[in-house]
Amino acid sequence: MQFIEGGVCAAKGFKAAGIHCGIRKNKSKKDLALIVSETEASAASIYTQNLVKGAPLIVTKEHLKDGKAKAIICNSGNANTCNDNGIEIAEGICDILAKELGIDSKDVIVASTGVIGQKLSLSPFESGIPQLVKELGENSSAAADAIMTTDLKRKEIAAEFELSGKKCRMGAIAKGSGMIHPNMATMLCFITTDAAVAPDILHKALVTAANDTFNMLSVDGDTSTNDMVSILANGMADNPIISEENEDYNVFVSVLTEISKEITRMLAADGEGATKLLQCEVVGAKDKESAKKAAKSVICSSLFKAAMFGADANWGRVLCALGYSGADLDTGKIDVAFKSKNGYIEVCRNGAGVDFSEETAKEVLTADEIEILINLNAGNEKATAWGCDLSYDYVKINGDYRS
């Protein structure tokens, strides 16, 4: 596998576009994105487990009962959540797009992101979708821009790989900066591939990849109402269709996991107000579940995140987070170290502090990417979680989010 350019348009048969249609107040910001496959594609999605769900998720879940889709449309600036006519609006968006593309409305995946509980009209879609369709092309970046809300950086990636000797490609765009503490998804991520994969196997692959990537991500501990990851696989690479868990399936899952991991890192690094990407690597766990619980607990600790913002090697906050994580561990065996491009420093051995230079530790923790290395010394399992520091700006951003 090698990373390439192209985002969601890297795979054969996919086009994308992004425009401003009038949902967002700022006319310089795109607010409507579209991804279209030339042919019908196998499709799968995973969704937030928040009981309050955006109308688009409910509509998309219904549309994907047959495991097929041809298009993904997403608006930013309005979540279409907690509105009494939300379903009607989401279905209306699909109907308008379907008519413009000449496809069945049930072949449309629909998504929205933005403010919850704000009324949404079909008017901007009625005027914007025809223009959006006209602009379809190699516009992955335009589509990536159109789904952003408080994001500061565009998130897109693509890779090339082989299945049974056939060259295949996979690409993705994503958005997410705040309200990120997912379970089965992340804020929004759309993935395309020209590999041929049966719908049920595609869903299994997506769940498998998400469990070690998107589900190991946290920015602020809030699970959004609109979290969704969707993937389209149109088969235009002409590989033998993957319909069972064979060697090609393993390769496909590996690539999907790598794509998802890179997107996860981008989402964590661009967390609201973030100045540092945090990567917590736990090894030596008794079982996989304990490794995941331990890594996620450290990443989610507000006190630890604040310490990282201040470049304070307060390793006691790591031990504290491990202690309430629910992981099966022996606190007297835990080792902790910090690592970055500026160096490496051990701060805890066998559950107790070791002498270290505060100056060196400060230097290590001033980097923009920090690794928290934890050895539980209890077994052979491992896990990695991603997050970011907690800065003053997080409160500023969310204090006037609706303004």
Mean pLDDT of 248-267: 97
pLDDT, tens digit, 9 for 90 and up, residues 303-360? 999 999 999 999 999 999 999 999 999 999 999 999 999 999 999 999 999 999 999 9
- Same domain for 293 and 311, yes or no, is yes
Q: Which structure tokens are listed for 234?
A: 């149109």
**pLDDT, mean of residues 81-98:** 96
At 180, which CATH number?
A: 3.60.70.12
Pick from 269, 288, 313: which residue ends a domain? 269
Whether residue 96 sits in one domain with residue 201: yes
**CA atoms of 22 and 58, how far apart (whole Å):** 24
| Statement to judge: residues 65 and 209 lie in one domain | yes
Domain boundary among 220, 238, 269: 269
Question: When comparing pLDDT for 164 and 270, which is higher?
Answer: 164
Q: Does residue 15 sit in the same domain as residue 125? A: yes
Shared-domain flag, residues 238 and 308 = no
Question: Which run of H or of E encompasses 338?
Answer: strand 335-340
Q: 3-class DSSP state for residue 309? A: helix
Residues 220 and 351 in one domain: no
Among residues 251, 269, 287, the one where a domain terminates is: 269
Mean pLDDT for 77-102 is 96
Q: Give the CATH number for residue 310.
A: 3.10.20.340
Is residue 289 classed exposed, middle or buried when 0-12, 13-18 and 19+ CB atoms within 10 A define those classes?
Answer: middle
3-class secondary structure for 193-254?
Answer: ECCCECHHHHHHHHHHHHHCCHHHECCCCCCCCCCEEEEEECCCCCCCCECCCCHHHHHHHH
Residues 323 and 215 reside in one and the same domain:
no
Confidence (pLDDT) at 229: 95
pTM score:
0.92
Q: Which range of residues forms the domain containing residue 76?
A: 2-269
Could you read off the pLDDT of 267-287 as tens digits, one per residue?
999 888 889 999 999 999 999
DSSP 76: E
Q: Indicate if 103 and 248 belong to the same structural domain.
A: yes
Is the same domain home to 325 and 212?
Answer: no
What pLDDT, on the 0 to 100 scale, is given for residue 399? 82
Residues 189, 321: one domain? Answer: no
Confidence of residue 370 (pLDDT cuts 50, 70, 90): very high
pLDDT at residue number 332: 97
Read off the pLDDT band of 392 (50, 70, 90). Answer: confident
**Amino acid making up residue 118:** Q
Higher pLDDT, 49 or 296: 296
Provide the annotated active-site residues: 186
Residue spans of alpha helices (H) in 5-121? 55-63, 86-101
Q: How are the residues of the chain apportioned to helix, strand and coil, as percentages rounded to the nearest 5?
A: 35, 30, 35
